[in-house]
Amino acid sequence: MIVVAINYTKLSKEISLKTPGIKTKGVKQYVTAANADDNMKPYPVNSIKNIKLKPRSIATFVINSKQNNGAMDLLIKPAY
The predicted-structure confidence for 22-34, as pLDDT tens digits, reads as follows: 777 888 899 988 7
- Give the dihedral sign, CA 75/76/79/80: negative
Of 37-41, 46-50, 61-65, 76-80, least confident by mean pLDDT is 76-80
The count of structural domains within the chain is 1
Residues facing 5 on adjacent strands: 59
The parent domain of residue 8 ranges over 2-78
Categorise residue 22: left if φ over 0, alpha if ψ from -120 to 50, beta otherwise.
beta
Rounded distance between C-alpha atoms, residue 18 and residue 48, angstroms: 7
Confidence of residue 59 (pLDDT cuts 50, 70, 90): very high
Confidence of residue 17 (pLDDT cuts 50, 70, 90): confident
Could you tell me which residues come within 8 angstroms of residue 69 by beta carbon, excluding any fewer than 6 positions away?
none
Residue 16 sits in a domain whose CATH number is 2.60.40.1180
pLDDT (0 to 100) of residue 77 = 57
Q: How far apart are the first and last CA of the chain?
A: 25
